[in-house]
Amino acid sequence: MRADARRNRERVLRAAEDVFAEQGIAVPLDEIARRAGVGAGTVYRHFPTKEALFEAVIAGRVEVLMADADRLRAHDDPGAAFFQFFAHKVKQASLNKALSDALEASRGFRYGTQETHDSFWRLVDELLTGAQRAGAVRPDLDRDDVRALIVGCLRAVDQVTDPAKADRLIEVMADGMRAK
């Protein structure tokens, strides 16, 4: 691979991270090319479709989320770990339209590799069942419910502008998930 090709690939990926984070997957690809300082053709030489580029960006983001989830697994209080994860995830996604678009699409991360997808949700499952065993979360919720609630919470949060209001909404939703 030629040096300029590698350099341009990096540039495109970095620009795509920024632009997708700001505007979500709906942004025109030309905008990404422009921000990267390359032509549209160059983008397509490195990524076969716009969606593939989006996947590549999301894969990176999911790695970060997974690192967080993994760290929380060792927390003393499984209930607190779960709720921290929930709040953190919602906040991350509310700041990153790429992440929220990916979450909503087709019931989960439609983007990112299959194995990343699977291991991420396996981690979520562990946090959830841990919290349920500790009596902190309603026992009748499964990982699908949690995903749905994260997506819903995300949507609720970006209906309001005031960050204090957003925090309150997260609190409301978390309260609803607690065991009675």
Partner DNA sequence: GACGATACGGAACGCTCGCCCCGGTTGTCA
Partner DNA sequence: TGACAACCGGGGCGAGCGTTCCGTATCGTC
Q: Is 135 in the site for a copy of itself (CB under 8 A)?
A: no
Q: Is 52 in the site for a copy of itself (CB under 8 A)?
A: no
Q: Among DNA, a copy of itself, none, what binds residue 50 when CB lies within 5 to 8 Å by partner kind?
A: DNA
Binding mask 50-89 for DNA (x = CB under 7 A): xx--------------------------------------
Give me 158's structure tokens.
Answer: 């970006």
Give me 64's structure tokens.
Answer: 């970060």
Binding mask 108-127 for a copy of itself (x = CB under 8 A): --------------------
User: What is the Cβ-side half-sphere exposure of residue 155, based on CA atoms within 13 angstroms?
Assistant: 10
Q: Is 95 in the site for a copy of itself (CB under 8 A)?
A: no
Task: Tell me how crowded residue 24 is: count the other CB atoms within 10 A of its CB.
Answer: 17
Number of residues that this document lists for the chain:
180
Task: For residues 30 and 14, give the distance between their C-alpha atoms in angstroms, rounded to a whole number.
Answer: 15
Q: Is 16 in the site for DNA (CB under 7 A)?
A: no
Q: Is 151 in the site for a copy of itself (CB under 8 A)?
A: yes
Nearest to 137 by CA among 152, 126, 123: 126
Task: For residues 51 and 39, give the distance between their C-alpha atoms in angstroms, rounded to a whole number.
Answer: 17
Task: For residues 114 and 47, give the distance between their C-alpha atoms in angstroms, rounded to a whole number.
Answer: 18
The β-bridge partners of 137 are 178
Select 67 or 160, whichever has its Cβ closest to a copy of itself.
160
Using CB under 8 A, list all residues that contact a copy of itself: 104, 107, 138, 140-141, 144-145, 147-149, 151-157, 159-160, 165, 168-169, 171-177, 180
Which residues contribute to the site for DNA (CB under 7 A)?
A: 1-5, 7-8, 26-30, 37-42, 44-46, 48-51
